[in-house]
A and B are shown apart, each in its own frame.
Chain A
Amino acid sequence: MRFAVIVFPGSNCDKDLFYAIKDGIHAEVEMVDYRENSLDEYDAVMIPGGFSYGDYLRSGAIAAQAPIIPAIKKLAHEGKPVLGICNGFQILTEIGLLPGALIRNRQNKFICESVELIVEDNQTIFTSEYSKKESINIPVAHGEGNYYCDDATLSTLKANDQIVFRYVNDINGSVDNIAGIINSKGNVLGMMPHPERALEKIVGSDDGLKMFQSILKSHMNRVNL
């Protein structure tokens, strides 16, 4: 399985994601420059955290105009896995692959801490290795992680089981404690917490590893069908 980690100017979790895939699940992975315009050679795309374009204008807004974006959309429409973490989640909402928006944390401060999440849905290609309602510890680090959507969208998200992760405690004001959502087709996931920082107990938690294992396993199952 071949992963692409997209690198925008200002991405800063790109290497962490790269190591998560290379050392965590020993899959093939490459860093792909934002100026590329094809992702045809890849089986999955990862959009890392960071401050693409310095968060100028609005987080994710300028990255949404980058040359690589059509290729990401194409890959998503083909049903291949697309994972956006933190700034990657913000970009996914900016380009319309996921509904809603990420706004300033309610407390108006950046927060970095390890938080408890509930895996609300383990029937996705990103979470199949978790058990349903499993409680996991994953770090967050964001200033604009307050997930917002209108009531109609929230109802749809709930009805379609699109809420994949919830915070156990309200850490930033997110609607319904949403930490991560998936598209209706089930192949595009956006989340604020950083699973790529939780792969080894020595750095605090290895609860993120199952996410990358899930992606790999789902892919192998598809390929072997």
Chain B
Amino acid sequence: MTEPTAEKILDTKLYKSWGLSDEEYKNISENILGRLPNYTEAGLFSVMWSEHCSYKNSKNVLRKLPNKSKRVLAGPGEDAGIIDIGDDQAIVFKAESHNHPSAVEPYQGAATGVGGIIRDIFSMGATPIALLNSLKFGNLDNTHTKYLASEIVSGIGGYGNCIGIPTVGGEISFQERYKNNPVVNAMCLGIINHEDVKYGKATGNDNLIVYVGAKTGRDGIHGATFASDEFTDENKTQRSAVQVGDPFMEKLLMDACIELVHKHSDWIMGIQDMGAAGLVSSTAEMASKAGSGLILELDEVPQRETAMTPYEIMLSESQERMVLCVKPEFKQDIIDFFTDKMLDAVVIGKVTSDGQYRIYQHGELVCDIPVAGLVDDSPEYKHVGVAPERVMSQEAKKQFQPEISSLKDTWLSILKQPTIASKEYFYKTYDSQIKANTVVKPGSDAAVVRVRNTKKAIAMTNDGNSRLVYVDPYIGGQITVLEAASNLIASGATPIGITDCLNYGNPEKPEIFWEFNESVEGIASACKKLEVPVISGNVSLYNEFNDEAIFPSPMIGMVGLISDIDNVTTQDFKQSGDLIYVVGDTGNDFNGSELQQMQTGDVTGLLNEINLEKVEETQKTVLKAIESKLLQSAHDLSEGGLAVALSESAFANKLGFDVDIQMNSAKLFSETPGRFLVSVAPENKDRFEELIGKLGTYIGEVSNSKSLKIKTSDSNAQIDFNDALSNWKEAIPCLMK
């Protein structure tokens, strides 16, 4: 095939099929280049200016998120953010979405999502120590959803298990809106000494650009553009845009890069992974950060296939590849170093000082464009948001009033709702214990991983209750942050940083943009209140199928520091006779709740305003109780409310309970945010009650009777431990059959 000429691209508007608008094309031709871009150049602009790479539709919203604190060493803009944890150590973390690839090729889509986020961490020089994920699927009532769920989970496990990083936590939920567009967000956290931090910069005239890792093939071309478009019945099988992962190759690459940073830091100026938009994005961003130019010789790029065009080589998203900027005197050292690790390292270009991005193939100049034009001059769109009817109607102001005809039946039913039920069926296929540092394993409020040879531990959680964000984006956004913080606090950690994945529909639709903007404002307000910065993350827009968007689905990956590992607390009741308290007030919060979904098949109505002061006070008091060693267990109250939290706390150690909540039965299922369920040893009763004051309400005791007993102001119910457990534990295996 011969490539169309620049004039032909203009005449046929070929650029439009790559996602460039007429205005964008005109801007490139008239203002940036002063001439028409050739085929390769137009391709590079289209991918670098896609939403996925440029955030053109979202950056003015993302600026609302706070990203600074005393601990932040690096924030958004790098491969991942970095936060100080004392003793000259830091943690590096980021989350990324792989929704579109997972929809069309679920195993590889999810696997390469994991592979990509791991590269973002070790490219900073950090050693990855934990993986988490947040998954949203359609309802498990059809073979397609079961296939997606099963393959996506296998892909995540297949990659993480092989590379040897524990998958320690996450969340999975189910809702009809995700049937053809699942949400697959993966997070990785690494640890690093301050002195070893490396940034993705191509700096210093005549320094070399070195390509390391797997060869470049035709897989994943235009993956970033693909991720910035909607799905329809016609394009749902765009498999050529999905990459194929090789965790073995990445293991070699990871170990080699970490060793290089530790032992030969002086050889390299910068290091960056090739992720979305492959070679072009990684090298152009490295040059942009340093204000440099680059010359690339494509004949040197290791290629898996023959006769690849510059366009294909530059846009390929083949996995397990890195770019280094190396001082020329260490050229042979670098090549020998990687050869010893069974990896190809090849010099493919050099840094220049003129700010131009030049590419040669077969001795011909095939691209000559300013780096700044490609990276920094991408457009920025300010969309107008319009609130949808569902939040503006009079009806929306009403609070759903559930009727509980049988407390026992409602309780047993809610335990087997897939979003509530045990996810062990899925997470048991992840190696959660490799590295022998996992202190709190999957199935808890937050995962906890210790930092070897210190008293410290890191708590991590992924949270996103998209039902709440759907019914009320601003307050739902606030709750997402509060919920994540509560999960960390219940484990004994102080929240110190956030990475996010913001998953929404098409932002060019006013109602979708409104959801996006409102929920980010809600997130920002809660982050500011709790003083937790957002240090990295990603945006995934255009999550639609046949014009119907997913629920607005911001995922908050929050990380906390536990300075003394002895303070790690779990949600499980420990001993019969321990006293049970609810901390925080329970209101009538049923809109968007699990109970509303279960009873009506839908979620509707606005949420009650949140008193952030009060929630913060509650969280700080619970953390103080944990640090004063007054709590046996602590559990955040969320989906399904108190009834679910009580049951979950009982399961692990096969204990029962006997409580009298002195509220009506419905309130057992209320989802008022900012509440905890805690248990206290009898000898600590007085000290605990003095600390907790009016925030805490005593409701009963842990028992060893193998029976779960609840008395309310209008009913009482008793269920056998094994009945409750089997409803909760067997629901998902049963649905997946």
Give residues in A with beta carbon < 8 Å to B: 9-10, 12-13, 15-16, 19-20, 50-51, 53-56, 109-114, 139, 141, 143, 194, 196-197, 199-200, 202-204
Interchain residue pairs with CB less than 8 A apart (5): A10-B251, A54-B162, A110-B161, A113-B428, A204-B433
Please give 19 more A-B residue pairs, beta carbons under 8 A apart, in addition to A197-B433, A203-B436.
A12-B164, A12-B251, A16-B435, A51-B161, A51-B162, A51-B247, A53-B248, A54-B247, A54-B248, A55-B248, A109-B428, A109-B429, A110-B429, A112-B431, A112-B433, A202-B450, A203-B433, A203-B438, A204-B438
Across the interface, name the chain B residue whose C-beta is closest to A15: B435
- Give which listed residue, A112, A200, A202, contacts B430 with CB less than 8 A: A112
- 6 smallest beta-carbon distances between A and B, as pairs: A12-B164, A54-B248, A141-B431, A51-B162, A197-B436, A112-B431
Contacts of A203 in B (CB 8 A): 433, 436-439, 450
Instruction: Decide if B182 is an interface residue (CB 8 Å cutoff).
Output: no
Q: Which residues does chain A contribute within 8 Å of B436, judged by CB atoms?
A: 16, 19-20, 196-197, 199-200, 203
Contact partner of B434 (CB less than 8 A), chosen from A20, A55, A141, A199, is A141
Bound together, the chains give a CA A200 to CA B428 distance in angstroms of: 21
Nearest neighbor of A200 in chain B, beta-carbon distance: B436
* Complex CA–CA separation, A196 to B435 (angstroms): 9
What DSSP secondary structure best describes chain A's contact surface? mixed
Q: Is B246's CB within 8 Å of the partner chain A?
A: yes
Q: Which of A9, A199, A202 contacts B342 (CB 8 A)?
A: A9
**Number of B residues, CB within 8 Å of A:** 30
* Binary CB contact string for chain B from 434 to 454 against chain A (1 if under 8 A, 0 otherwise): 111111010000000010100
Contacts A12-B164, A54-B246, A56-B248 given: A111-B429 contact, CB under 8 Å?
A: yes
Which residues of chain A are near B565, meaning CB under 8 Å? 202
Whether the Cβ atoms of B248 and A112 lie closer than 8 Å is no
Q: How far is the CA of A194 from the CA of B251 in the complex (A)?
A: 20
Q: Say whether B163 faces chain A, with CB atoms less than 8 Å apart.
A: yes
Provide the bound-state CA to CA distance between A15 and B439, in Å.
18
* CB of A96 to closest CB in B, whole Å: 25
B220-263 CB contact bits vs A (8 Å, 1 = yes)? 00000000000000000000000000111101100000000000
Most buried by A among B164, B252, B437, B450: B164
Enumerate chain B residues within 8 angstroms of A9, measured Cβ to Cβ. Answer: 248, 251-252, 342
Which chain A positions have C-beta within 8 A of B249? 54
In the assembled complex, which residues on chain A have CB atoms less than 8 Å from the CB atom of B154? 109
Q: Which residues of A contact B441 (CB under 8 A)?
A: 204
- B residues 112-168 touching A (CB-CB < 8 Å): 154, 157-158, 161-164
Q: How far is the CB of A29 from chain B (nearest CB, A)?
A: 15
Closest to B167 in A: A112
Task: Return the chain A residue nearest B150 by Cβ.
Answer: A109
CB contacts (< 8 Å) of A20 on chain B: these are 436
Bound-state Cα–Cα, A143 to B168, Å: 18
Q: Is the CB of B433 within 8 A of A141?
A: yes
Query: Is B465 part of the contact surface with A, judged by Cβ < 8 Å?
Result: no
- Contact (A55, B162) CB under 8 Å given A202-B450, A203-B436: yes
Which residues of the other chain, A, contact B248 by a CB distance below 8 angstroms? 9-10, 51, 53-56
Contact status A141-B438, CB under 8 Å:
no
Q: Is B525 an interface residue (CB 8 A)?
A: no
Q: Which residues of B contact A139 (CB under 8 A)?
A: 433
For residue B432, CB closer than 8 A to chain A, the reply is yes
Residue among B162, B428, B430 facing the most chain A CB atoms (10 A cut-off)? B162
Write the chain B residue with the least CB distance to A203. Answer: B436
* A121 → B minimal CB distance (Å): 25
Which residue from chain B places its CB closest to the CB of A113 in the assembled complex?
B428
Q: Given that A51-B248, A203-B438, A204-B441 are contacting pairs, would A112 and B163 also be in contact in the complex, using a CB cutoff of 8 Å?
A: no
Which residue of chain B is the closest to A194 with respect to CB atoms?
B433
Report how far A3 CA is from B452 CA in the complex, Å.
Answer: 21
- Chain B residues with Cβ under 8 A from A50's Cβ? 164
Could you tell me the distance in whole angstroms from the C-beta of A113 to the nearest C-beta in chain B? 6
- Looking at B247, B248, B433, B437, which has the most chain A CB atoms within 10 Å of its CB? B433
Which residues of A sit under 8 angstroms from B342, Cβ to Cβ? 9
Can you name the residue of chain B whose Cβ is closest to the Cβ of A197?
Answer: B436
Could you mark each residue 333-364 of chain B with 1 if its beta carbon is under 8 Å from any beta carbon of chain A, else 0?
00000000010000000000000000000000
**Chain A proximity of B215: nearest CB distance (Å):** 16
User: Contacts of B161 on A, CB cut-off 8 Å?
Assistant: 51, 110, 112, 141, 143
Interface centre among A12, A15, A50, A196 (most CB of B within 10 A): A12
Q: How far is the CA of A13 from the CA of B436 in the complex (A)?
A: 9
Whether the pair A202, B246 counts as a contact (CB closer than 8 A) is no
Q: Are A111 and B428 in contact (CB under 8 A)?
A: yes
The CA of A113 and the CA of B342, in the complex, are separated in Å by: 33
Give CA–CA (A199, B438) in the complex, Å: 12
The B306-350 residues at the A interface (CB cut-off 8 A) are 342
Measured CB to CB, the nearest residue on chain A to B457 is: A202
